[in-house]
Each structure stands twice: as structure tokens, then as C-alpha cells.
Structure 1
Amino acid sequence: MLDALTVAVAVAALALAAWCGHAAYRDQPTKDWHFIGMAVVTVLALAQLVVGVVQLARGERPEQGMAVFIAYLIGSFAAVPAAGFLSLTERTRWGSITVAAGAVVLAVLEVRLYDIWGN
């Protein structure tokens, strides 16, 4: 996997978590700007998904198993959009907390993806 892309996704996810956590602290729901941030993080996760699939197609294999790697790759792509969708149903500060939690989950998944790939 591309180490720089993994770091970029994790850092962007943590920045989104801090931003939405700050909104929750101020008792605000997710707003349009937060959804733009979620879109940026999701595009980075999509790029990582594509890179991971291309590397698998070229014959490269993760150290800890392909099935686990694919599951984490799909999960990391789905974490922020799922949290964003849930925040649309909860238009209070809890929506912001949900997105912040989803972004933290994505950052943790990135660390685990790095370990699974075996760099």
C-alpha cells in the first residue's frame, strides 16, 4: 500500500473528527461544511480502495491475509459515509458526535490496514 496515502487518510479523518467534535462541543449539528469535509475524506478512502484493489490485481499480497485486508479496505471506505448518513437522521449535536466517532474509527482502521499489509 502507499504509505503516504494511508497517512493522508488517517490525518484527514482525525481532522474531521476534531472539527465535528468541536461542533458537538458547541452544541451544533453537522452542517454543509462538515459534509464537504466528509466528502474529501471519502474521496481519499476511495483512492485507497482503488490502489488496494490494483495492487491485489497486480499480484501483491498482504502479509496477514487477503480476506481480512479486503474487509478492512471496504470498511474503511464505508465508515465516514455511514456516519454521515446517520448524522442526517439525527440533526442535533449527536449527529456531530456520530461523525466524529466514525472518523476516529476510520483513523484506527487505517492503522490496522497498514499492519495487515505488512510494511
Structure 2
Amino acid sequence: MLDALTVVTAVTALLLAAWCGWAAYRDQPTKDWHFIGMAVVSLLAAVQLVIGVVQLARGEEPEQGTAIFVAYLLGAAACVPAAGFMSLAERSRWGSVTAAAGGVVLAVLEVRLYDIWGG
């Protein structure tokens, strides 16, 4: 798997978490700019999903098993969009907290994906 893409996705997810956490600290809900940030992070996770599936189709194998690798790829791709939809339901500071938590969870999933692939 592409290590650079994993690092970039994890770092942007943490930046999104810090940004949404700052909004929560200031008692603000998620704004349109936050959703644009979530879209960028989600796009990176979707690109990683496609690259991971292509590498599996070419016959490359993760060290810790294909099924768990695919499960983590799908979870990483769905994590931030799910948090974004939940933050839409809660239009208060807690929506920003939810979006920040989604960014942190994605960063942790990226570290785990790196470990599963054999990094």
C-alpha cells in the first residue's frame, strides 16, 4: 500500500479533528467549511480504498489477512462521512465534537491499516 497516502490521510484527518475541535471549544456547530474539509479527507480515504482494492486484485497480500484489511479499508472510507451526517443532525457544538471524533478515529484506522499491510 502507498505509505505516503496513508500518512497524508492520517495527518489531514488529525487537522480536521483539530479544526472541528477548535469550533467545539468556541461553542460553534459545524459550518460549510468544515464539511468541505470532511469531503477532502473522505476523498483521500476513498482513493486509498481504490488503491487497496487494486493492489489486492493484482495479487498482493497484506500480512495480517485480506478480510481484515478490506474491513478496515471500508471502515476508513465510511468513518468521516458518517461523522459528518451525525454532525448535521446535531447543530450545536456537539456536532463539531462528533466531526472531530470522526477525524481522530480515521487517523487511528490509518495507523492500523499500515500495520495490517505490513508496515
Give the alignment's TM-score, normalised by structure 2: 0.99
| TM-superposed deviation, 1:103 | 0.5
CA deviation vs aligned residue, 1:80-112 (integer Å, no higher than 9, x gap): 000000000000000000000011000000000
In structure 1, distance between residues paired with 2:12 and 2:51: 18
Indicate yes or no: 2:79 matched with 1:58: no
Match of 2:22 in 1: 22
Count residues with an aligned counterpart. 119
What is the letter of the counterpart of residue 34 of structure 2? Answer: H
In structure 2, distance between residues paired with 1:65 and 1:54: 16
Say which SS state the counterpart of residue 63 (structure 1) adopts: coil
| TM-superposed deviation, 1:72 | 0.2
Provide the identity percentage: 79
CA deviation vs aligned residue, 1:9-58 (integer Å, no higher than 9, x gap): 00000000000000000000000000000000000000000000000000
Match of 1:98 in 2: 98
Match of 2:111 in 1: 111
Give the alignment's TM-score, normalised by structure 1: 0.99
In structure 1, distance between residues paired with 2:61 and 2:26: 45
Ranges in structure 1 where 5+ consecutive residues have no aligned partner: none
Ranges in structure 2 where 5+ consecutive residues have no aligned partner: none
